[in-house]
Amino acid sequence: MRGQIGRMAKVAGVQKVMVQDVMGDPDARAHSRALLAQALGITREGVVA
């Protein structure tokens, strides 16, 4: 996923992306964000290369 988002950002000519969700359940939203962070290598301390 990290590579795919990186390629889309490069094609779009941007350095940052924003992910939006529309989940009403806060637990489902937190889980979804945790999965996304894990897939992108993001920790509370920052991005892991």
pLDDT at residue 49, as a whole number: 57
Would the pTM of this model clear 0.75, i.e. be above it? no
At 1-49, the pLDDT tens digits run 788 888 999 999 999 988 888 999 999 999 999 998 888 888 877 766 5
pLDDT at residue 46, as a whole number: 73
pLDDT at residue 40, as a whole number: 84
Q: What is the DSSP letter of 4?
A: H
Those residues with Cβ within 8 angstroms of residue 47's Cβ, 6 or more apart along the chain or in another chain: 40, 41
pLDDT at residue 14, as a whole number: 95
Q: What is the DSSP letter of 20?
A: -
Q: For residue 17, is it left (φ>0), alpha (ψ between -120 and 50) or beta?
A: beta
- What's the token pair of residue 37? 């962070």
Q: Where are the domains of the chain?
A: 20-49
